[in-house]
Structures are given as C-alpha cells and as structure tokens.
Chains A and B, each alone.
Chain A
C-alpha cells in the first residue's frame, strides 16, 4: 500500500467541525489495515428504505386477484404509508362502507377508485356509499415462488 493511502491523523484538525467518521469495518490488527475501512457506508437497512416514515407505515397481507395488473398478487405483502397523499394511479387501502379493500386511485375526470384487473367488471360506487382512503401502498413485497 502506498503511504498516501493513509489519512494522517494530523489533517483531521484542519476540517471544520463536526466531523463524522465512518464505522470501522475490520478489527485493528498489527498488519495492514483494509483499504476499504475509510470508505465504509454501513449496512443497507431495508426497513428504512421501505418505511422512511416509520410511525405511519403498516404492513397488510393481500387476499384476492383484483389488483394483478398493478403487480399486486394474492398472498403479497403491501407496505402502506398513511402519510403519503394519494396520487393518480397509486394503489390504496380503501375503506368502502367500513370494509377495507385494495383499489387503484384515479384523479380524472374526478377522483374515483377502480380494480386493476381487466377481467373484472367496472367498479361502481354510488354516492350514498361511504368512501375513505386508509393509506397509500408504497411497496409490494412479492415472492416469485416458494422455495
């Protein structure tokens, strides 16, 4: 290893505070340190990636086939973030007359819900029905096949 690969400790004093240091990945030993040690990023935390807003994120298990065109299949796990504002084309956990179901949310010509399966009939909700959005699906966890 070339000498310039080491960061001389003296230089640290020249940086403006605060200075955060990466967590060392290998044990300090008498031999050569790993050249990767100064470049450690830490673990990739999948739960932080899938649920950036933890308090508002809930998991639901999917039962049924009405959302297959949106890539959501029977038995999948959906990650639902209640803090996300529904947007055109997103999948939502909807509450229709007190019952929860997965639907596609559309904004035009006016906000409405639909199935995502062309073999299903058109979803008809009349004005007398009570409709609310419980949360927006931000991810689906799908297992391609059982091992």
Chain B
C-alpha cells in the first residue's frame, strides 16, 4: 500500500495562540513580532489585508498598526511551545506516527486509516484541534511529504476547500496541482527557480512532467527526488524519532547596542549557561564550537564581526566550563569602540555523553560537577528558569532581549494563569 502523509499546521500560529486567551481579538488584526520586537513574524489574514508583510520591521509599520487598531505581541515562545505540545498530543489520537516538523507543523502517517477517507479524517482532526486546543489549522494530504506540504499550501490559499486538500483524490489533484507555481514547492530556492524558469518551467504541472533524469541534471539529486515525490513516489519517510542534535546554538540580538566588554561577557555567559542546559537535556557533550559578536549592518554603525573558536580537551556539558571558555574567547574577539548588536555561542561538534572518554589530564572532579549541574537543573525546573544562575551570567541583564509586548505564560506558570471574572 502506498503511504499516505498528512501535514497539519496552525493558521497564523503565533497569532492564533494569542487569540485563545484573548477572544476579543477574534476579528481584529493581530501580529506577533520576532525577538527584540524586530519584525512581524506572524500575521492574521486581517493583518495581511492591511498590507503587513512577513518580516516587515516594526518601526516601519508602527503607525499603520496604531491607525488600524492592530493587536501587536512580542513572541511568547514558552506559551506557543506549550500549545504546540498539546496539538501534537492530539495528533497521536488520530495517527500512529507523528513527526514534529516545526513548532506549528507536523507530518502524520495516515496510511490505511479511516477506510481510505483521508479528507474526512483530516476534517475530524481540524475540528478536534479547534475545539479542544483552540487553534485553527489546515491539513494537506498526499502520497509523499512534498505533496502533503504542497496540499497544505493549496488548502491555505483556496478557501473553498474548507482547510483540507487531499491530493490523493484524482479530481482534486488534477484541479489544483498543475497550475500551482513552483515557488510554492518545499525546498525550491531562488537559484532553483531561475534554473527552472530557464527551461520554461514555472508550474508544478510542468515540473511533474519533467524526466527525473533531466531534473537531476538541472537541480542535482534534490531535483530528481522532487519530481519523483510530485508523482507520488515517497522518497522521504516520516521521522517520528527526532534526529540527534548535531550542533546547538544560543544567539541573541541585544535589546540595545552594547559597548562595554563587561556586558558582552555577561551576555555570553548567559548564552553558555543556556547552551549547557540544552546539552544536558539531550545527554550530549560539546567538543568544538565558537563564539561570535557583531555590530548592526543596517543602521549605519561601523561594521565589525569577529569570532573565536572553542575547544574542549574533554567533551563537556558543564555550565562553568562552557562559561569559562566562552567568556575567555569573547574577550579575545572583543575590540573597543564598536556598538555591538548581537553575540552568540555555537557548538558545532557534539558527542553522546556515553561516548565521553576521560582525559588523562583531567583536573576536574567530574562526579562532583555532575551533581552540581543536576542540582542546578532540578532547581530551575522546579522554580522557573533563571532561579539559580551563575553570577557570571549577570543579575541585571542590561543587554537582555526586549519583549515589550509579551503576553503572560498562561499555561506554564502558576503566577500567570489567565483570569476569568465571575
């Protein structure tokens, strides 16, 4: 039996999350801004109708938002993450296998379910997610991930489909697929688009008819796979077990330009703390990486970018080791007289903790450190992030990212529960 993939994703996901506990915003335009309240990263249809584009810098649309009574939110990732978790828990009620693709998109294995009525199953799924979690979704169905993703896009852009597009249905497929522009396809970048346009291919129908060998010559093996997937041959499978973390990064833009080394050190120490937490949660240890800092390229400030490598004699997941190495490296990357806009720590090579070999030159009492790190994580899990932080990571955090318009952590903090009048 040919596999059936469904892709379910939340409509204007971040905005829809904000509407759950603010029903008065149901018909008002809503946008959510990126880190540092920089640009619009989620928009409801009402906001799109006002001409607000994805990635529009907030300072450019501030007046427009005020004039049209647009509800503007800072990103509230703790909240969106919890809503995402709830949606995926529901998906498991409908499908045996679920691959969490991003915070608002999941692939579901529909193969052989609901007596072959996949569109019916998708409609049930949508109704349940809307009723139980409060998020409107669209579902795309196809014989490959590429088709499911495309079907999802078609469901989003054709209101008459009622949020579900099943490309395994011949009539639906022949009606909607051929005319869809190739730029709507998953994984087609600007360079590929230009190459395809060069041979006269602008629609999915044309690409689907291309000889896979020719697609390979034009766009490498990726192109060949795309043509096969468009024709209903699944080359990609569902990855319900998350791939092991290959590398990890903690990078942030500062709330304002930073000009003092002490502040950068504090920021980098905080990022190193966070990176170490991520490592311990994934049971991984860092071998190599780097720290970097740079100024703002776009505001007329003098441009400077610098990075310094990090290397660990023994793979480590220890907060203090990471802080020590990272702050040491950032001091070497630092130059006076610039207005820095962003810094970060990137760990490029990780190994599973079980593979860690102890160096002959070991100078640290590993067991004692391990107990300390466990205690640190336990306390922060129990009493909230940042309850216990290394002093190097700063107590005032003057450099901290701005989230001026953030909604409460409605579903993850006892002290921030929504209030209902009685």
A residues at B contact (CB < 8 Å): 53-56, 58-67, 72, 74, 77-78, 82-83, 93, 95, 97-102, 132, 134
Chain B residue contacts of A56, Cβ below 8 A: 86, 90, 131-133
| Chain A hits for B85, CB < 8 A | 55
Contact residues in B for A66 (Cβ distance below 8 Å):
421-422
Contact A98 B26 (CB under 8 A): yes
Q: Are B132 and A78 in contact (CB under 8 A)?
A: no
B384 at the A interface (CB under 8 A): no
A63 CB to nearest B CB, Å:
5
Contact residues in B for A101 (Cβ distance below 8 Å): 420-422
9 extra interface residue pairs, beta carbon distance < 8 Å, beyond A61-B419, A63-B421:
A54-B89, A55-B85, A61-B420, A82-B133, A82-B134, A83-B132, A98-B25, A99-B23, A100-B420
Give how many A-B residue pairs fall within 8 Å (CB-CB): 73
* 5 pairs from A and B in contact (CB 8 Å cutoff): A55-B89, A56-B131, A60-B417, A63-B422, A100-B420
B411 at the interface (CB under 8 A from A): yes
> B87 in the interface, Cβ–Cβ < 8 Å?
yes
B24 lies within 8 A of A98 (CB): yes
Given A63-B419, A63-B421, A66-B422, also A55-B24 (CB < 8 A)? no
Q: Which residue of B lies closest to A67 (CB)?
A: B422
Q: Closest approach, in angstroms, between the C-beta of B336 and any C-beta of chain A? A: 50
Q: When the two chains form their complex, are residues B420 and A62 in contact, meaning their CB atoms are under 8 A apart?
A: yes
Q: A54-B89, A55-B132 are in contact. Are A60 and B418 (CB under 8 A)?
A: yes
CA distance A58 to B85 in the complex (A): 13
How far is B420's CA from A35's CA once the two chains are assembled, in angstroms?
A: 49
Asked if residues B23 and A55 are in contact (CB atoms below 8 Å), the reply is no
Whether the Cβ atoms of B421 and A77 lie closer than 8 Å is: no
Task: Tell me, in angstroms, the Cα distance from A101 to B24 when the chains sit together.
Answer: 12
Residues of A within 8 A of B86 (CB): 54-56
- Residues of A with C-beta under 8 A to B133: 55-56, 82
Of B134, B411, B419, B422, which is in contact with the most chain A CB atoms at under 10 Å from its CB?
A: B422
Contacts A59-B417, A64-B422, A101-B422 given; indicate if A82 touches B23 (C-beta within 8 A). no
User: Bound complex: CA of A97 vs CA of B422, how far in Å?
Assistant: 16
Interchain CB contact under 8 A, A55 and B87: yes
